[in-house]
Amino acid sequence: MTTSTYTVVGMTCEHCVRSVSEEVGAIPGVNDLSVDLETGSLSVTTEAEPVADDAVRAAVVEAGYQLA
């Protein structure tokens, strides 16, 4: 397993967390993820190879937020 950590900017509520979780969770290969509202931390776990940073960035932008 591989875990990559990112910082999401602009989240203010649990709806934000759900939106980011839904978009990032839809990326092929993502097995698990964790979003912390207070810190903006996004941890993405995959079974084998890490997911491309561009795919994570695109999913976060689709949810309406930015990566730091």
pLDDT tens for each residue of 28-47: 999 999 999 999 999 999 98
Taking CA atoms, 28 is separated from 3, 10, 12, 37, in Å, by: 15, 25, 27, 24
Helix (H, G, I), strand (E, B) or coil at 24: helix
Name residue, tokens 């932008």.
61
Quick one: pLDDT at residue 13?
97
* Stated pTM of the model: 0.93
Mean pLDDT of the region 4-17: 97
Measured between alpha carbons, how far is 33 from 39 in angstroms, rounded to an integer?
15
Q: How confident is the model at residue 49 (pLDDT cuts 50, 70, 90)?
A: confident
